[in-house]
Structure 1
Amino acid sequence: MDYSKGTDSEVNMDSIQLVASLLICYPEFSKITLDSKSKAIIMELSVKEAPDQETMAAGEDFIVDSLKLYHSLEYTRGAKFAFFYQDFALHIYRDLDTFSHGEVGLLLSLLKDKFGAIIISDDNRDADEELLATQAEMIDHRIRFLKENRIPESMVGVREEGRVMVYDHDLL
């Protein structure tokens, strides 16, 4: 399938759908930003309290080392990654060109292992399993499509009380 011929409207719709799908499928994320200027995705997990410096340093080392190994196994070169704490949230910055859906699950497992006691998750017990499966299947397609196209507008998606909302980032 040729992903390189998307119109701005199609790319914007896929941007919105990717942000929404990630928030729907992964209740640990409180906010996701798709940055058109740096062609990056920034994923945020809200936390109850700030991690102490030692825990943060150990967690960062563990996550960075694990991602390096994952990228090596997946033959991914040139990945841009950052992980930091700010304003009661753990932030993960990833360039979209080397980002993959498989990496999302790995990142969340690592983060829950190191910071699970302080991560705030939207526990939606009434989640529609069929909807989740459909959204998860489409994430890979949307990532591939966005890798091949210029993202015309930045998007930000937030989770609030079981709802997902996506906005044009430039309007905020």
Structure 2
Amino acid sequence: MFDFLRRKLLGHSGGRSRSEQARPGVQLLASVLVCFPEIEAVSYDPREGMLTMDFVVRVQLPPAEIEAFAAFLAESIETFHVLEESLATAMDFSYEQHEGLTILHLARRMDELSERELSLTMQLLTERFGEKLLVDTHGAETLDAEFRMLQHETLERMLVAVREIPLRDRLVGIRERDQVVVYNR
């Protein structure tokens, strides 16, 4: 109520602190990881406006198979957006291979994402890679059904909110045993 006095007397600008500004982004990335145990890590780059999700497949996939899946995923996301009467303007798909593992990186524009698109993506990954896809055993499927539904609704509201007030901080979220950790880079 007396913020104007506090600013005048104490010299505070009255603006939100850097940690308060980052909080919505931290909550968003944490929600993505809680809702989708298939995602091993997630990062957001405000310069590009892209949310990058990392998935681990427990085999070394042939490059032709990865490229075929990337094309299928791109077509599926584009079709989803046509049906939703929206646009999917940018998608980047890359991968890296390590001994016995393939890490898939999917980057999507944050302002185009929805919880439904993320759910579709997880379904396509699960159908394609099955048991080979690394899924956190402490993930959303082990949560109470009501809590899981609430998390998905919260995620959708947060994705809509970042369209109106874009995130300014570069953030990274990872899984660490049975926890989700999000930090500002």
Structure 2: distance between partners of 1:56 and 1:164 = 27
1:148 corresponds to 2:158: no
Structure 2: distance between partners of 1:130 and 1:91 = 30
Taking only the aligned residue pairs, the percentage that are identical comes to 28
For residue 24 of structure 1, the aligned residue among 34, 39, 50 is 34
Structure 1: distance between partners of 2:20 and 2:85 = 29
For residue 94 of structure 1, the aligned residue among 98, 102, 108 is 108
Q: How many residues align?
A: 164
Q: Deviations over 1:10-32 (max 9, x none)?
A: 55211111100110111111101
> How large is the Cα RMSD of the aligned pairs?
2.0
Q: Which has the higher helix share?
A: 2
1:106 corresponds to 2:120: yes
**Residue correspondence of structure 1 range 133-144 to structure 2 within 5 A:** 133-144=149-160
- Contact residue 12 and residue 152 of structure 1 kept, 8 A: yes
Instruction: Tell me the CA shift for residue 84 of structure 1.
Output: 2.1
Name 2:57's counterpart in structure 1. 47
Structure 1: distance between partners of 2:70 and 2:165 = 31
The 3-state SS of whatever aligns with 1:116 is helix
Query: What residue identity is the alignment partner of 1:106?
Result: L
TM-score (norm. length: structure 2): 0.80
Could you list the runs of 5+ residues in structure 1 that have no partner in the other structure? 1-6
The 3-state SS of whatever aligns with 2:111 is coil
Q: Deviations over 1:69-125 (max 9, x none)?
A: 111111122521122212431111001121111100100111112222421111127
For residue 127 of structure 1, the aligned residue among 139, 143, 149 is 143
The 3-state SS of whatever aligns with 1:34 is strand
Structure 1: distance between partners of 2:20 and 2:146 = 24
Structure 2: distance between partners of 1:126 and 1:72 = 33
Q: Deviations over 1:39-77 (max 9, x none)?
A: 110011122122112221221121111111111111122
Is the alpha carbon distance of 1:76 and 1:141 closer, same or farther for their aligned partners in structure 2, counting shifts above 3 Å? same
Could you list the runs of 5+ residues in structure 2 that have no partner in the other structure? 1-15
- Contact residue 48 and residue 119 of structure 1 kept, 8 A: yes
Structure 2: distance between partners of 1:10 and 1:70 = 34
1:66 corresponds to 2:76: yes
Structure with higher RCO (Cα < 8 A, 6+ apart): 1
- Contact residue 49 and residue 118 of structure 1 kept, 8 A: yes
Instruction: Tell me the CA shift for residue 9 of structure 1.
Output: 5.6
